[in-house]
Amino acid sequence: MSRGGGKALSLKDKLDGNELDLSLCDLNEVPVRELAALPKATVLDLSCNNLISLPSDFCSLLHLVKLDLSKNRLQQLPLDFGRLVNLQHLDLLNNRLVTLPVSFAQLKNLKWLDLKDNPLDPTLAKVAGDCLDEKQCKQAAVKVLQHMKAIQSEQDRQRQRKLQAEREMEKKREAEQRAKEAQERELRKREKAEEKERRRREYDAQKAAKQEVEKKTKKQAAQSRKSPSSSRAAQPPQHRHSWSRSVLRLLLFVLLCFLSALAACKLTELRAQPLCINVNTLFEDMVAALQNHKTLQNMLHQNSQQ
């Protein structure tokens, strides 16, 4: 058998009934596969080797009832060591263990335990006590199992509290999310109602404007039906008024032209021209006529007063 684990034939050679002695074999690792092929080997002695750790598949050797791992260099046991539920006798003397895995509490059939000469945690060392005789080793098994069960229960309670806190946090997040969604729905509903009301006001305003236009149109049509002759009669005065304005503009233009010509004939060298002589004569006649007209008005005014 090699140091890394022996052949199946070699293990069978070492099997004596239900006991398999692999002590003092200078083993660095446990031949788990070969051991699994020997389910009759319920008693396994691996003491006095160089084992630093046990592989995780070691815990599949459910047929083990008695296990001796004393005088190795084990620093820890596999986390699922509690799977070895049929284990009744466990010797861990003189290793380097500080703590035990929580799953150790599942070894409900354990009746004998030796943890002497390990750098155990003070609390665990106090619980385990000494294992100097059969009675003390049995008490150690009972007390350590109770201690590990208490640790397991506390961890379970912590895990439950953590799960409860996570569930409450999840419920809180869900409630906040629902509240947020409800608020968003309410906001969308309010915006939709406001938009509907705005469109309704626009529709009412357009309808009122349309009705007002139709009302004015009907009123104008009614007025046109009631007084068609007055409408036609009102048109000639407008034409006459427009014609009188045109005549007045023409007279003003002629007067302006006459005054311009008069100014030219009075103030420039053109006054000696025949046209300017006629213009000046006409102007003097008009002035004389206006003076005579004024004298006549004064006489008539005096006679009326007498």
In angstroms, the CA 105 to CA 103 distance is: 5
What is the mean predicted confidence (pLDDT) over 277-290?
75
End-to-end CA distance of the chain: 177
What is the mean predicted confidence (pLDDT) over 154-158?
91
What is the mean predicted confidence (pLDDT) over 143-167?
92
The whole-angstrom distance between residue 60's C-alpha and the CA centroid of its chain comes to: 49
Of 255, 252, 277, 253, whose CA–CA distance to 265 is shortest?
A: 277
Q: How many CA atoms, within 13 angstroms, populate the side-chain half-sphere of residue 243?
A: 6
Whether the model pTM is above 0.75 = no
User: Distances in Å between the alpha carbon of 58 and those of 31, 54, 82, 143?
Assistant: 9, 6, 11, 25
Q: How confident is the model at residue 123 (pLDDT cuts 50, 70, 90)?
A: very high
In angstroms, the CA 161 to CA 168 distance is: 10
Of the listed ranges 89-98, 192-201, 262-271, 279-288, the one predicted with least confidence: 262-271
At residue 229, the pLDDT reads: 53
Q: Over the range 226-261, which residues count as b (16 or more CB within 10 Å of their CB) and which as e?
A: eeeeeeeeeeeeeeeeeeeeeeeeeeeeeeeeeeeb
pLDDT over 90 at 95, yes or no: yes
pLDDT over 90 at 74, yes or no: yes
Specify the higher pLDDT residue, 48 or 210.
48
What residues form DSSP beta bridges with 2? 5
Contact 43, 21 (CB under 8 A): no
Tell me the three state secondary structure of residue 211.
helix
Of the listed ranges 146-160, 196-210, 240-254, the one predicted with least confidence: 240-254
Report pLDDT digits (tens) over 6-44: 444 478 888 999 999 999 999 999 999 999 999 999 999
Q: How many CA atoms, within 13 angstroms, populate the side-chain half-sphere of residue 50?
A: 7
At residue 227, the pLDDT reads: 63
Of the listed ranges 148-157, 188-197, 236-245, the one predicted with least confidence: 236-245
At residue 286, the pLDDT reads: 77
Of the listed ranges 32-36, 139-143, 225-229, 284-288, the one predicted with least confidence: 225-229
pLDDT over 60 at 231, yes or no: no
Superfamily designation of domain 11-155: Ribonuclease Inhibitor (3.80.10.10)
Q: Mean pLDDT over all residues of the chain?
A: 85
Domain limits, the chain: 11-155, 269-305
